[in-house]
Structure 1
Amino acid sequence: MNDFWVFGYASLMWKPGFDFVEKQRARLHGYHRSLCVISIEHRGSAHRPGLVMGLDRGGSCVGVAFRVDGRNRANVLDYLRARELVTNVYLERRGSITIEDGNHASALIYVADRDHGQYAGRLSVGEAVARVCGAVGGMGPNEDYVLNTADHIRTLGIRDHWLEEVVSRVKARRT
Structure 2
Amino acid sequence: MTDTNIDTDENNLQSLSTGDCVVNEIDSDFWVFGYGSLVWKVDFPIETQQIGYIKGFQRRFYQNSIDHRGTVEKPGRVVTLVPADDETSVVYGVAYKIPKAKQQEVLEHLDYREKNGYERCLVPFYSLNANKAGESIRNIVIYVATKENDSYAGHKNDLNDIANQIFEAHGPSGPNREYVFRLADAMRQFFPHHNDDHLFELEKLLKERERKSFNG
TM-score, reference length from structure 2:
0.76
Q: How big is the shift at 1:140?
A: 0.6
| 2:109 paired residue number | 79
Amino acid at match of 2:151: Q
Q: Select the structure of larger CA radius of gyration.
A: 2
How many pairs align? 173
Match of 1:84, as an amino acid? E
Specify which of 167, 188, 191 is matched with residue 133 of structure 1: 167
CA distance in 2, matches of 1:163, 1:109: 19
Could you say which residue in structure 2 is the equivalent of 1:145?
Answer: 179
Compared with structure 1, are the counterparts of its residues 32 and 162 closer, same or farther at alpha carbon in structure 2 (3 Å cutoff)?
closer
Aligned to 1:34: 60
CA distance in 2, matches of 1:93, 1:120: 20
The CA deviation at 1:30 is: 2.6
Note the C-alpha offset of 1:6. 0.6
Moved over 3 A (4+): none
1:3-152 matches, within 5 Å, as 3-58=29-84, 59-85=89-115, 87=116, 89-100=117-128, 101=132, 102-105=134-137, 106-121=139-154, 123-152=157-186
Deviation at 1:62, TM superposition (A): 0.9
Instruction: Give the deviation of 1:24 after TM superposition.
Output: 0.9
- Partner AA of 2:165 in structure 1: R
| Greater RCO structure (CA 8 Å; 6+ sep) | 1
**Structure 2 SS opposite 1:174:** helix
Q: Separation in 1 of the partners of 2:207 and 2:103?
A: 39
Matched letter for residue 72 of structure 1? K
Measured after TM superposition, the shift of residue 127 of structure 1 is: 1.1
Amino acid at match of 1:163: L
Q: CA deviation at 1:131?
A: 1.0
SS of alignment partner, residue 105 of structure 2: helix
Match of 2:12 in 1: none
Question: How far apart are the structure 2 equivalents of 1:81 and 1:147?
Answer: 25
CA RMSD of aligned residues (A): 1.4
| Matching residue of 1:161 | 197
Give the whole-Å Cα distance in 1 for the aligned partners of 2:148 and 2:112.
Answer: 21
What amino acid maps onto 1:57 in structure 2?
P
Give the Cα separation in 2 of the matches to 1:163 and 1:26.
17
Match of 2:21 in 1: none
Contact 2:69/2:76, CA 8 A, preserved across alignment: yes
Identity %: 32
CA deviation vs aligned residue, 1:80-130 (integer Å, no higher than 9, x gap): 011011x2x111111111122122112111012111221111612201111
Greater CA deviation, 8-17 or 57-66? Answer: 57-66
